[in-house]
Structure 1
Amino acid sequence: MKRNTTDKHKKKSWLLILLFIALGLFICWLIMLLFWSYFFSASSEDTIRWEKPIRKIAEMAPESIQNWDMLNLEDEESEESSDSRKTERAEVMLSDGRGLTPTMNELLADHPFDKEKFNARFQSMRRPVVPPKDLPHSTFGKKVAYVYHSHSRESFLPYFPETDDPKDAVHESRNITQVGKMLERALENRGIGTLVDTSDIIQELDQKGLDFSASYQVTEEHIRTARSANKKLTLFLDIHRDSLRKNATTKTIQGQSFAQVFFVVGTSHESFKSNLAFTEEVNRRLDASYPGLSKGIFQKDSSQGNGVYNQDVSPTAVLIEVGGVDSTLEEMRRTTEVLADALSESYWHKEE
């Protein structure tokens, strides 16, 4: 009898131990459930809070383009950092908006380049063009926008494995013209028929015995040839990348990096005020939904650079700097989508 009683006590003890273990596990599970519920709720509120301003400009874009994991509009830079950037920008703008003017030898140099990495990134970001019938607005096959690159060999240091020198970031084909292709596709997906000119302007300069300062002269010839072949072209976008480093050309928005933009309007021609008005409209739309992404509009006369930048060809012609020497293709892709929203809405608003 005594042994049976002892066995019963042992069984009760084990049952109590198991009960306490089960109770402990249940409490741990409950704490984790409450924690994740709170975390998910906070994340959802964040998404809802920013969804409205983000889509304000993008509402005309196809649904496939709108579904973006964007954007937190917090500006993390200090006032001191902001002031230093303004000073740096003012110094750069005293030249041609590009920093130090490169020599032709520097522009024609061949530096080791990671083509596989660049090509893989670029191909992975290609989007199908949305048919005109599926768009709220469309030019229905008519090409009205012309994207080109006066400084065509501007490339990006992340794809040069053996250098960190900004002057070495030049390439004959893997360069800013690829960003032009991104913008072309983004505009097409917003109903704006677009041509992109990927000509190697630097090679043309070399063949003609001209130096870098004649870039706009060469692209003017391309513009006039394109316009003579297509009278519908009205929107002219000269796309560049800045020569400043990453801290002055990148904006972090909701944990993702975007290439910042700024606009250059030449004031050394009679009709520049029309170009300025259009550019202000585009910039306003960017600022409305993506504060800090645009660094603003720089008006430049012939004492500060070219002064015209071929913008006398149309009231809707503008030079746009996208990103900088340290930008990645992913950053450029995000920004070209945002920029295409602002450009297309400004274009359709003008048409109406």
Structure 2
Amino acid sequence: MLQPIAQPLQSVRRSRDANPDAAPLPAIDPKPMRLQPPTSVPERIGFLMLPRFAMVAFFSAVEPLRIANRISGRTLFEWDLISADGGPVTASNGMTLDASCASARAPAVPSLAVCASFAPDAGIDDALLDWLRERAASGCVLGGMDTGCFALAAAGLLDDQTVTLHWESLPEFRSRFPRVDAVESIFEVTPEGFSCAGGSAAIDMSLDLIRRRHGDTLVKRVRDQLIHDPGRRPASRQRDPDTPGDPTLQKAIELMEANLETPLGIGELATRLGLSWRGLERLFARHTGIPPQRFYLDRRLDHAHRLLHETRHSVMDIALACGFASASSFTRAFRRRLGLTPSEWRQRS
């Protein structure tokens, strides 16, 4: 088990803007807490920043905690920013953020969030995976933000658990880690860990933490400061339906996106929806203007496009992940769509 360093690090990892004149701390929410409550206040949280992490998700997670500190008049939460080597990390928006410590010298914390984004495999090596396993063995509760669950799953720490991550990465994650129950929700909190879809979903997850630790009154005041819509629930979908006026079409699209690697036949898709083949074609013609076969192929090629841009997988691996039987059939479809082969497109991007 890693031990905390002797002296606290003076850096951006801690919020120190408590207001001594603020209202008294609200009563503890009596509802049972699914994660173990901290043994003391302030509660300390670690954020492991991987290369090209999503800065919007990181700040969305931290700002509610900072505001909770200010409103309560006490330092309820502190945080450590961790990188593999202790140096600054460049986010997906090109900005860099200083770390407070290297992973090898990171203090022991009750919970730790792995922050990633467009390049979920960046920075993942054997040393990092071993470190995550050590943290889990020491009792630290681990979670992922945006695509941070890729690192946790690669370490073998998510088998048979329910997690969420950004919707664009769900098909690849499901194909690589079939033993993990990956769902499209805003955030997930289970007895084993936590995860969120990134972006503003991190606000919802932090607000949930504040509610569980310190009650509904405080979380409402924090939410008011953030001007945040209280309507979203953990199980809410991450994005608006493409066709909100027709639930059958939306269900068809959901089935397609859940079966990119092994595409469903159009007849089977129609049967699952309780439609005839012609009925399914009429549905897509009415709402999208294209046949369901074409719509399905476009979704598979969109996913392939993202994988070519965001991963280092071979063209053959990407072809299989997107439901093509061979690299040649994938290349033909990709060229018809974009005018370039997958390899040519990757070289130019």
Structure 1 and Structure 2 fold alike (TM over 0.5): no
What TM-score does the superposition give when structure 1 sets the normalisation length? 0.26
**Greater RCO, CA 8 A, separation 6+:** 1
